[in-house]
Chain A
Amino acid sequence: PAPPGPAAALLQALGLPDVHRGAPKPRPVPPVMWRLFRHRDPQEARVGPRRTPQGTTLRPCHVEELGVAGNIVRHIPDRGAPTRPPEPAWAAGQCPEWTVVFDLSAVEAAERPSRARLELRFAAAETAAGWELSLARAAEGEAGGARPVLLRQAVPTLGTPVRAELLGAAWARNASAPRSLRLALALRPRAPAACARLAEASLLLVTLDPRLCHPLARPRR
């Protein structure tokens, strides 16, 4: 049921306009989100002495650890994962292309993206002498055909997550976030080797909602 009265007003004040639908699908909280939370929230979940010494002020509206302006950080999972074939196709000696889909409908128009970091985890049957990642826009239901490459990036190893900055590549730096982001990505070995498999894709999006930012009080001259 919709929360009556003050709870709805508080949700509204916290920029959470719609009623939360209850228990979400259980999913582990990504370590990066825990790290950002612990770094940011002086009270954390503990009631009692503050972890950060009194008087330490973190810059408001700034995500220190990521070095950008922002007061909302979202970890957005890939919606395309369930429909992706489990094994890469080896046909025609080409490594497969994957389509990843990110639902950005929760981002409000007033929010200004300051960072959009794509994070990819691959599983490789064998080590190769380096890889090349390429990203292109994948339109709805579009099959094949050459599309302009948005980003090309050398990947030395698949042992750690592959990260790619999308701001300025997948959408203009000062534009508001699109409602949905569909990307076709390919990972090709630099020398003949077995293709890798995409295990997981996610997007870390940092936005600044100016309505929740108070201008810094000017120091007295």
Chain B
Amino acid sequence: EAEPALGGSPGGACRTRRLYVSFREVGWHRWVIAPRGFLANYCQGQCSLPATLSGPGGTPPLNHAVLRALMHAAAPGAAGLPCCVPARLSPISVLFFDNSDNVVLRHYEDMVVDECGCR
């Protein structure tokens, strides 16, 4: 399940959008014990001024991103806008049966987008 993407329209500042990954959807529900899925989220939106300056979600803006946004405001054709990408991620753990019927707990870093930022 995903929050409807902007479909390329320029509206909406860069921010975290909801994306829930269901293990049942990808057919892993027989051997994944927990969780049933997780909120992976994704980033989308415009990184034009002033969104780039304030840094959506409180993440400090990168100077280079501000520079690019300023350049774009002055000469749109010169260089594109900064990109809206994950700025802070967090891990998840998955409990599952492996092919040898062992119960396994694996920990994966950087699986959930907590914050987006312009880069």
Contacts and interface: CB of A to CB of B under 8 A. Distances in A.
Interface in B71-119: 90-95, 97-110, 112, 114
B13 interface: no
A30 B103 contact: yes
Contact of B31 (A14, A23, A105): A23
A58 B90 CA distance: 10
A209 B114 CA distance: 25
Contact of A24 (B27, B38, B91, B97): B97
Interface stretch (A43-51, A129-137, A147-155): A43-51
A33 B86 CA distance: 31
Secondary structure dominating the interface of A: loop
Contacts of B110: 214
B99 A20 contact: yes
Given A33-B103, A74-B103, A212 B109 contact: yes
Interface in A76-124: 76-77, 103, 105-106
Nearest to B105: A73
Interface of B: 20, 26-28, 30-31, 33-39, 90-95, 97-110, 112, 114
Interface of A: 3, 7, 10, 14-16, 18, 20-25, 27, 29-30, 33-34, 36-37, 40-47, 54, 58, 60-61, 71-77, 103, 105-106, 212-214
B107 A214 contact: no
A185 B23 CA distance: 41
A40 B38 CA distance: 14
Contacts, number: 107
A4 B54 CA distance: 42
Contact of B99 (A18, A30, A58, A74): A18
A56 B21 CA distance: 23
A23 B99 CA distance: 10
A10 B26 contact: yes
A72 B105 contact: yes
A106 B102 contact: yes
Given A37-B34, A41-B35, A47 B20 contact: yes
A41 B107 CA distance: 8
B106 A71 contact: yes
B69 to A, nearest CB: 24
